[in-house]
Structures are given as C-alpha cells and as structure tokens.
Amino acid sequence: MLNNYNLKDTYIFSFTIYLILYFTNQHYSLEDMILIGFTDQLKYLKIVDAATNSINIEVSEQQGYRFLIPYIIGKISNLLKIQNNFILFSIIMILLNALIIHTFNKIILYINVKKNISLIIISALIFNAYMFRPAIINPILINDWLFTYGLLLITSYIIKKKDGYFYFGLVLCAITRQTSQVLNLVFVLVILYNLIFKKKIKVDIYFFGIIINISIFICLSVISSIFTGGFNKEMYIDHIFGIFYFNYDLLDLLIFILHFLNAYFFEIILLFFLLTNFEFYKKFMKFEVILIAILGLSIWIQPFLAGPSVDYGNISRLTILSLPVILIVFLFIFKELEVKSSYTIIIILLLAMTSLHHHYTYFLNFFFDYKNFHFVIINLVLNFIILTILIKNNCELKVVK
C-alpha cells in the first residue's frame, strides 16, 4: 500500500471539497457586500470603468496603486463587449483559486507528504473561512489572491530552485499589493545570513529581486498618480505606524487580536502540537523551511503595524494572504506524521464545519440567527476537538511503536 497519494488523487479530493465550499457560500449583490464590510470593490470598479469608458476617475492611493489588473480586466471586458463585469471577475477568480490549489498540490507531491496528513492540510487551506469564501463572494478583490499565488510561486522557488518561479511570483506580488515591499526585508535577511555564516546560497536572485520589487513600486506609484492625484505618504505612514498612534482602547486591541486568532485557530493547534513534540520534529526544520516560515510571517507585519484603528476587522483577510505558505511549513514538519483514517475523516469534517462563517455562508441561518460570536465559539471548540484527536492519535502511535 502506497504511503502517498498521486497528483490525480489530491486533485479529486481538493476540487470536490472546493465545490462543497462554493455551493455552501453566500452570493451577495454589490450593495449587500457593503453591508458586511466589503467596500474596496467600488474603487476597483471605478478603475474598470476608466478602462472601458475612457473616463477620468479618482481613487485613494491604496487602491490606485493596484490599478493594473482591474484596468487590464476592464480592457478585456471592453474588447469582448462583456456587459456584466462581475461575471468576468468571478470566472477569473475561480480559475485563480484553482491555480492556487493546483500549485499547493504540486508542492505536496514534491515534498512527499504522507497520505492522511496531506488531506488534512489541504482541507485546512480550502475550508479556512477566510481563504476562498471571500474570494467567491467578492471576486473584484482579485489582486489579493493574485498576491497569494505570487507568494506560492516564490515558495516554489525556495523548494525547487527554479528561477522562473521566483521572478514571476515576485512580479505578481509587486503589481498587486504594496505589501510586496515587505519581501525586501526577507531577501536582505537571506543575503546577510549567507554573508555572515559563509553559506553557499544563490543570493544574486534575492539582490535582483529587491531591485525589481522597488522598481515596480516606483513605476506603479508614478503611473497610478493619474487615479490618485499624487503620492500620499501620509497613507503609507498610517498603514505602517498606525499601531503606535494609540488612538484605540484596550477592547479595540483585544477584538483586533481575536479577529486574527479566529482566522488561524487550526494553525495555532498545529503550532502547539509541534512545540509539545519539538524534540522529534526539529529535525525537519531545515534552512528552507525556516525561510518559508519567515516569508509567510513577513506578510503579517504590515497589517499588525497598521493596528486596530486602520485595519480592525480586516486583519483576518490581510494576514490570510500567506496561509498557503504557512501551511507548507507544517507540511514539511509533519510530512511523516501518520494519522489514522478514522481520525482523518473526523478532522476533515470538523474543518468543514469551521468554514461556516456568519457572513460568508447561509447554512446555519436556517436553524437560528447565526452571529459572529457563534462563529467564534464554534471555531474555537471544533479546533480544540481537533487538538485532542491529534494528541490521542500521537499517543496511540507511540504505543504501537
């Protein structure tokens, strides 16, 4: 009996549960999206209109910098005479989701992860309430998921050492979000590590990466001034130092942190499991794994620095951009973890239930008035059950051995 699935098996599993996710998702109108906190799409649609109708528009610096993809989609829509741009965005977003899942599965196959833990981690990616559900609801925010795909390609470079992955991934990150500039810190760390410890790392690619990243940022900032009316340094200062303004109270800060934790309960469970079994799993923590972890965690820097007064409820959506990268770290660490089939099925079902977000799904609303605090409690309790199952599975494996 083989210990690992082939790519066809993981594809079938992945896209089956994605379909389950899709058909249990809410589908809102543009007006209803605003009521649940989605407002950025209005600014991107202005850019689409500028591309299709050649009109002058003005949007904030934050969205104006990210004009390229919506502008290109607007031009495609105009060329093909598509009347409903939302449908076009939806089709592109679904294809992009499939591409992210495809790349994630390819990495699983390359790492050679054990069967059942690979299914659990795939489920953790697809069933995370903040990963693909918001994408299905609001495909106009396509830049965010293109950024995620770019991060996955950079991760693929670290694993497979193919330069094309790095450069293409970096360009995608740089044209879709200003957050890409944080990657320069990661690249500098690699260069310094190689210099100080005399390693034989190919650092020229990271040096060129910094140049490319900064160059794209400057070019897009200059071009986007057409939409924004000029470079707004105050916006960048607020988004980098907002947490130090202390214009929020303790309750705001606690809610801010809780929003983040709610998106990452399962990964916190995996971290706890790792720390309690560190002596065994530390052998898997090679340089590449640590670098991938730093890459994923670096994306959290800006949302946290912005603080509650700037990001508030957006902290979950902004930090989830690097979820696939964080999960790849756990794939490396737990790639030889055996999980009993019965436990695997239960964990996957529990993860599916944790995806039932109060805004993004409708299922539980059939039974009662499903609110945000219900979702938090259900998410916490179900992940605690998952932790107990993993501990029980580990104890049983030790007895067998």
Q: Each residue of 302-354: pLDDT tens digit?
A: 999 999 988 777 899 999 999 999 999 999 999 999 999 999 999 999 999 99
Tell me whether residue 206 is in a domain.
yes
Which are the contacts of 355, defined by CB distance < 8 A and separation ≥ 6? Answer: 21, 24, 127, 128, 129, 133, 361
When divided into structural domains, the chain yields a total of 1
pLDDT score for 54: 57
Beta bridge partners of 25: 361
pTM: 0.94
Rg of the Cα trace of the chain? 21
pLDDT higher at 30 or 344: 344
Lowest mean pLDDT, pick from 224-228, 272-276, 297-301: 224-228
Tell me whether residue 2 is in a domain.
no
Mean of pLDDT values over 36-52: 80
Q: How do residues 153-184 score in pLDDT, each as one tens digit?
A: 999 999 999 999 999 999 999 999 999 999 99
Mean of pLDDT values over 30-45: 80
Q: How do residues 170-222 score in pLDDT, each as one tens digit?
A: 999 999 999 999 999 999 999 999 999 988 899 999 999 999 999 999 999 98
Write the single-letter amino acid at 206: Y
Structure tokens at 235: 């916006």
Instruction: Calculate what percentage of the chain has a pLDDT beyond 90.
Output: 69
pLDDT score for 280: 92
Tell me whether residue 120 is in a domain.
yes
CA distances from residue 201 to 193, 195, 216, 395 in whole angstroms, order as listed:
9, 9, 25, 39
Measured between alpha carbons, how far is 202 from 206 in angstroms, rounded to an integer?
8
The band of 84, judged by pLDDT with boundaries at 50, 70 and 90, is confident
Write the single-letter amino acid at 339: V
Question: Residue for token digits 């606690």?
Answer: 254
The yes-or-no verdict on residue 399 having pLDDT over 70 is no
What range does the domain containing 234 cover? 7-400
Which of 88, 355, 129 has its CA nearest to residue 96? Answer: 88
Tell me whether residue 288 is in a domain.
yes
Structure tokens at 91: 């089709």
Tell me whether residue 269 is in a domain.
yes
pLDDT score for 313: 74
The band of 1, judged by pLDDT with boundaries at 50, 70 and 90, is very low
Tell me whether residue 244 is in a domain.
yes
pLDDT score for 294: 97
CB contact at 8 A, 64 and 228: yes
Mean of pLDDT values over 114-141: 95
Tell me whether residue 1 is in a domain.
no
* Average per-residue pLDDT for the chain: 91
